[in-house]
Amino acid sequence: MSQIQSMLQPSRLPVLPVPSRRLGRPRLLIVGCGDVGTRCLRILSSRMRVFAVTSQPARRAELRAAGAVPLVADLDRPATLARLRGLATQVLDLAPPPGQGEGDPRTRALLAALRRAAWRRARKPAGTLAGEPAILPDRAPPRVAFVYASTSGVYGDRQGARVSEFHAVRPQTARARRRVAAEAAVRAFGRDAGWRASIVRIPGIYAEDRLPVARLRRGTPALVPQDDVYTSHIHADDLARTMVAALFRGRPQRVVHASDDTELRMADYFDLVADRRGLPRPPRITRGQAREVIEPTLLSFMSESRRLDNRRLKRELRLRLRYPTVASFFDA
């Protein structure tokens, strides 16, 4: 059983065919190869030739050691993306939008570079006269795939209601509106250029090194129960496995939630982490008090309440979560 199949159990279907020596390994491009991208790289590097894009030349040695071919390119400088054209037939895009503005020029620049790739050999259709130019189709071959990492923040505040992928987006922050713009660009790209484009909407990510320990040590307050919000979670390893599953099993122009089964209010999550790490629980304050003592960016996360439905993750991507709840992570 291959490494990819074992990571994505329980499916018995082959996730990736064994490549011949003549054809070489399939090529994957990871854009935004940070923590989660590196976890994806660990899953796929033994089965694919992985190219990892970084805007920091100093990271080349790190990415090479992780099993990738590092490429220095900057999504804020579209001219540097020319080398990405035609490089790979599968792409994982985990790069965040810019920190300001309403749109996402980074995603648009990446998609423009990929769109201009000449995927097929020039050929002359039957009946073409000598001397007439060959035709280069502008659509990609059917097996290409693009997976975009988005955020559940596109739904805005749903007052604790359960949200499925077919619910309309209602972004309430500029950050979320940039993600909505990126999603629209990805879907249009998939339809127009013939790529199988998938969108993975992600809630709060946690892992052993991604717990709110510093916040707990600072004693940052949490909200009282009557003012608190529901939040969803996903372990970074399960998120990487979701991205890989979407790469091979995602349906065209489809959205899927990368969320576990946890249903906790935000303060209860902090209490759980504090108890399991031997730290004091955070003090509780009202929302009115929070507006006076908590900085606006953090407060915005404490103002949206929703619970993500993850049935599509399990049924369509056939993913069995390694950590179904945050508590199961600590138990493990």
Check whether 133 has a pLDDT greater than 70. Answer: no
CA-to-CA dists, residue 151 to 194, 276, 312, angstroms: 24, 27, 16
> Is residue 185 very low, low, confident or very high in pLDDT (cuts 50, 70, 90)?
very high
**Whose CA is closest to 84, among 23, 158, 14, 31?**
31
Report pLDDT for 49: 96
Classify residue 218: in a domain, yes or no: no
Mean per-residue pLDDT for 78-106?
Answer: 94
Range 72-84 average pLDDT = 96
Distance CA 269, CA 171 (A): 24
Residue 236 CA from chain centroid, whole number:
10
Count the residues in the chain.
332
**Residue 286 per-residue DSSP state:** -
pLDDT of residue 227: 97
Q: What's the total number of domains in the chain? A: 1
What's residue 115's pLDDT? 87
Q: In the predicted model, what is the mean pLDDT of residues 149-168?
A: 97
Does residue 75 sit in helix, strand or coil? coil
Kindly state the tokens that stand for 329: 């992570």
141 vs 193, higher pLDDT: 193
Across the chain, the runs of DSSP E, i.e. the strands, are 27-31, 49-54, 69-72, 90-93, 145-151, 162-163, 196-202, 204-206, 222-223, 230-231, 233-235, 254-257, 264-265, 284-285, 307-308
Of the candidates 265, 238, 236, the residue with the CA atom closest to the CA atom of residue 324: 238
The pLDDT score that the predictor gives to residue 17 is: 39
* The predicted structure's pLDDT at residue 22: 39
pLDDT > 50? residue 216: yes
Tell me how far apart the alpha carbons of residues 190 and 216 are, in angstroms, rounded to a whole number: 43
What does the alpha-carbon distance between residue 313 and residue 108 come to, in Å, rounded to a whole number?
27
Residue 28: inside a domain:
yes
Radius of gyration from C-alpha coordinates of the chain: 22
Instruction: Give pLDDT, residue 11.
Output: 42
- pLDDT band at 102, cuts 50/70/90? confident
Q: What is the mean pLDDT of residues 142-160?
A: 93
Q: Which residue has the higher pLDDT, 224 or 12?
A: 224
Task: Please give the full DSSP string across 197-258, using - where no structure is assigned.
Answer: EEEEEE-EEE-TTSSTHHHHHHT--EE-GGG--EE-EEEHHHHHHHHHHHHHHPPTTEEEE-
pLDDT value at position 142? 53
* HSE (side-chain half, CA atoms, 13 Å) at 237: 13
Which pLDDT value is given to residue 6?
A: 55
Residue range 291-309, pLDDT digits in tens: 999 999 899 999 999 999 9
Nearest to 153 by CA among 263, 259, 306, 256: 306
pLDDT > 70: what percent of the chain? 85
The CA distance from 234 to 94, in Å, is: 15
Predicted local distance difference test score (pLDDT) of residue 206: 98
Residue 136 clears pLDDT 80, i.e. is over it: no
> Domain range holding 35?
3-119+141-207+232-262+308-324
Domain assignment of residue 81, yes or no: yes
Q: Residue 148: inside a domain, yes or no? A: yes
Which SS3 state, helix, strand or coil, does residue 3 take?
helix
Report which of 193, 175, 159, 245 is spatially closest to residue 86, judged by C-alpha positions: 193
Question: Is 224 among the domain residues?
Answer: no
* Predicted model pTM: 0.87
CA atoms of 218 and 113, how far apart (whole Å): 44
Report whether pLDDT(125) > 90. no
For residue 2, pLDDT over 90 is answered with: no
Q: What is the average pLDDT score of the chain?
A: 88
Collapsing DSSP to helix, strand or coil, 91 comes out as strand
Beta bridge partners of 201: 150, 257
- Residue with the larger pLDDT of the pair 125 and 154: 154
201: in domain: yes
Is 33 within the bounds of a domain? yes
- pLDDT(19) > 80: no
Domain harbouring 238, CATH code: 3.40.50.720
Is position 37 within any domain? yes
* pLDDT band for position 148 (cuts 50, 70, 90): very high
